[in-house]
Structure 1
Amino acid sequence: MEFVKNFNSQFAEVVNMIRNARYKAIKNVNTQLIELYWKIGNYISVKIENEEWGKSVVSNLASYLEKTLPDSTGYSAQNLWRMKHFYETYLQYPKLSTLLRELGWSSHLHIISKTKSIAEYKTKLIPRKVLQKKLHELFLLNEENKKDRK
Structure 2
Amino acid sequence: MADIPHNNEPHIVRVNDFRIDADYAAWISEIKRRYVSAQIKASIKINTEKLRFNWSIGRDLVTLKAEKRWGSGVVEQLSLDLQEAFPKAKGFGTTNLWAMKKWYLFFSSTEAAEKLHQAGGELQLPANHLVIKLHQVGGEFGLPFVLELVPWRHQVDIITKCKSIDEAIFYLRECILGGWSRQTFQAETVTMGRGLASAPWSLA
Bin the TM-score by the shorter chain. 0.7 to 0.9
CA distance in 1, matches of 2:152, 2:89: 15
Deviates more, 1:82-91 or 1:107-116: 107-116
Note the aligned Cα RMSD (angstroms): 2.5
Classify 1:128/1:64 alpha carbon distance in 2 versus 1 (closer, same or farther; 3 Å): closer
Classify 1:66/1:129 alpha carbon distance in 2 versus 1 (closer, same or farther; 3 Å): closer
Question: Greater share of helix residues, 1 or 2?
Answer: 1
TM-score by length of 1: 0.76
Find out whether 1:110 has 2:144 as its counterpart. no
Contact 1:40 1:84 (8 Å CA) reproduced: yes
Letter in 2 for 1:83: M
Hey, which bits of structure 1, 4+ residues long, moved more than 4 A? 3-6
CA distance in 2, matches of 1:27, 1:77: 26
Aligned mate of 2:25, from 8, 12, 19: 8
TM-score by length of 2: 0.57
Over residues 24-47 of structure 1, what are the superposed CA-to-partner deviations in whole Å (9 max), with x where a residue is unaligned? 111111111111000000111223
Aligned mate of 1:124, from 157, 167, 171: 171
Can you give the 5+ residue segments of structure 1 that lack an aligned partner in the other structure?
A: 136-150
What's the CA shift for 1:84?
0.2
Can you give the 5+ residue segments of structure 2 that lack an aligned partner in the other structure?
A: 1-19, 117-143, 181-204
Q: Secondary structure at the match of 2:163?
A: coil
Letter in 2 for 1:27: I
Percent of counterpart pairs with the same letter?
26
Find out whether 1:78 has 2:125 as its counterpart. no
Q: How does 1:45-124 map to 2 (within 5 A)?
A: 45-48=62-65, 51-92=68-109, 93-95=112-114, 96=116, 97-124=144-171
CA distance in 1, matches of 2:70, 2:63: 9
Contact 2:149 2:176 (8 Å CA) reproduced: no
CA distance in 2, matches of 1:41, 1:22: 29
What's the CA shift for 1:14?
1.1
Over residues 92-111 of structure 1, what are the superposed CA-to-partner deviations in whole Å (9 max), with x where a residue is unaligned? 22252100011111111122
CA distance in 1, matches of 2:87, 2:175: 35
Contact 1:48 1:54 (8 Å CA) reproduced: no
CA distance in 1, matches of 2:157, 2:78: 24
What's the CA shift for 1:23?
0.7
CA distance in 2, matches of 1:74, 1:83: 10
Deviates more, 1:94-103 or 1:46-55: 46-55
